Structure 1
């Protein structure tokens, strides 16, 4: 019998689909367990996993062999304590692709159709027909990171007639991308991009990737969108870029410090659209997380390769 550690907020979604030979122990967001996990092999961590919670589980379950994360990004899991353990880590790559890619198109349309201005006019009961509006058709989109989310963004952008470029460590042709370049070539594309979307994992190599030089290379009319991790952007440089008009604006679903502190200047910048790291939310999210895990559990029990195995050295 395999013993499984499940977070309390995902038990209702996962437990009904488990085979009969699975023993479940519940864990809450603080790492408190409702049973003995000294012989547990599998751990599904919860949303917003804290380092202290992870450490508690790792200490209590020394025989863990596999950990499944519901998130695509796993930088918060790859702690020194975790990395010294011989634990296979799989992530939730793919389960968030639909809602996040739709959110990116919403950011793009918000900017192109000047929705902030139109909403202000409605609030002021003012009828002005001469508001400047743009089209997405024939615009150029550069996506940094062409994994499941990046490819879903490209698919939806193509439906609007957007020219789509992508960047990845090992470039190769991909559906819906007009061009895919290597990880060291994307900067040369910035001066020609109307929209730049960050969809790459946070790793030591990508921390601060969007720096002052990158922001100064972008068009004054360009719009930056981050749905990945806040630390990928040099926030000080971004504040300057937005305040001084180096770029037209930014849609930020993630920031360096979350929640965004009340005193942050980002809140009041008219060309910044801040959302509370919610782009992945969907009524179907838990269903997809459960489906992925149940499929991986079958693979684990039958000795087949697991889906979404993380390269712990690469960070994703």
Structure 2
């Protein structure tokens, strides 16, 4: 059996593979250092897979049967060409949940404690003490997408005394959530939420989900946090909501066009915190990704059910 492994970790993985396996290495652009025509397995690494990279790998490996991705979101992978092939896709759900959840709490604390203002005052050498400074205690958090990442967020937010609502396609009681509703019922909770976190996958149903109607239903003191995909938010309507005071602010770790162009008006909004799609970064993520791949490879090799199989029709 032949595997296509990322050049970054191929040498770490190879000693853990059965002796009857062979490997070729692929780089970030999809260039492969050998013959992949008989490759059966592809492990893509911790970067956003460009369509050109993916297509190059697909063209090089006509017998590919299983693809382990490290991304949780796979909207960029499910191209028409990819869907034409009978490839089992498993994703990296869970690999980034802890660092992303910590980032969400950092966004919330930064807003509640007005850290941006404090940094500004420090730069001005100003000993000013009269500025907004709130507690998270008894505030309400709505997590749109109570999957693995959403549950890690809730676990940490509960320790701060927040009331936590969540939504998911198949609602069920979950630890640390006070209420979990169906995928079409969360809008009724917007009027109660001080913090709204987007943690749902990007699919046909969720593209542009956060629109003018959603902003109109939110509290004027609400803070929006997006750690999912930029296309879930209508950016023009977000800017309008920020400029008119419809909502109080937003933190975006992901935007529609990445990198965010210098001319984007998002950069200039005073009540927005933009980070460069880095909330999932962590030294431990590499270890988790390799461990997940090796566990799934053992399952694949022995014909056992694998973890994190993507429903390509649903998009996650």
TM-score normalized with structure 2 length: 0.98
5 Å-filtered alignment, 1:273-288, equals 273-288=273-288
In the other structure, the counterpart of 1:100 is: 100
Partner of 2:261: 261
Q: Deviations over 1:7-42 (max 9, x none)?
A: 222324433433333211011122211111111110
- Distance of 1:219 and 1:68 partners within structure 2: 41
Could you say which residue in structure 2 is the equivalent of 1:207? 207
Counterpart Cα distance in 2 of 1:111 and 1:16: 47
Report the Cα distance in structure 1 between the residues aligned to 2:183 and 2:57, rounded to whole angstroms. 36
Does 2:223 match 1:223?
yes
- Secondary structure at 1:55's aligned position in 2? helix
Per the alignment, residue 10 of structure 1 pairs with: 9
CA–CA distance in structure 2, aligned partners of residues 285 and 56 of structure 1: 26
CA gap 1:30/1:199 in 2 versus in 1, 3 angstroms: same
For residues 124-273 of structure 1, the aligned pairs below 5 Å read 124-273=124-273
Give the Cα separation in 2 of the matches to 1:272 and 1:153. 21
SS in 2 for 1:151: helix
Give the corresponding residue for 2:293.
293
Secondary structure at the counterpart of residue 32 of structure 1: coil
Distance 1:174 1:31 in 2: 40
What is the rounded CA distance, in whole Å, between the counterparts of 1:272 and 1:178 in structure 2? 28
Q: Match of 2:119?
A: 119
Q: Measure, in 2, the Cα distance between the counterparts of 1:73 and 1:224.
A: 20
Q: Which moves more between the two structures, 229-238 or 4-13? A: 4-13
State the alpha-carbon separation in 2 of the partners of residues 144 and 66 from structure 1.
30
Counterpart CA distance in 2 for 1:79 and 1:92 is 18
What's the Cα RMSD here?
A: 1.0
Q: C-alpha separation between the residues in 1 aligned to 2:51 and 2:132?
A: 47
- The DSSP-based 3-state class of the residue aligned with 2:86 is coil
Q: Secondary structure at the match of 2:143?
A: strand
The aligned length equals 315
TM-score by length of 1: 0.98
Q: Matched residues in 2 for 1:10 and 1:98: separation?
A: 22
Query: Could you say which residue in structure 2 is the equivalent of 1:70?
Result: 70
* Unpaired runs of at least 5, structure 2: none
SS of residue in 2 equivalent to 1:284: helix
- Which 10-residue stretch deviates more, 156-165 or 42-51? 42-51
Provide Cα deviations, 1:43-80, integer angstroms capped at 9, x if missing partner. Answer: 01232211111111111111111000001000000000
Q: Tell me what 2:32 maps to.
A: 33
Q: What is the rounded CA distance, in whole Å, between the counterparts of 1:200 and 1:272 in structure 2?
A: 21
Q: Distance in 2 between matches of 1:86 and 1:63?
A: 10
Residues in 1 aligned to 2:111 and 2:63: alpha-carbon distance in whole angstroms? 50
Match of 1:251, SS state, is: strand
SS at match of 1:219: coil
Counterpart of 2:43 in structure 1 is 44
* CA offset digits 1:161-211 (Å, max 9, x no partner): 010100011111011100000011011110110000000000000000000
Q: Quick one: structure 1 residues 166 and 13, their matched pair in 2 at CA, closer, same or farther if it must change by over 3 Å? A: farther
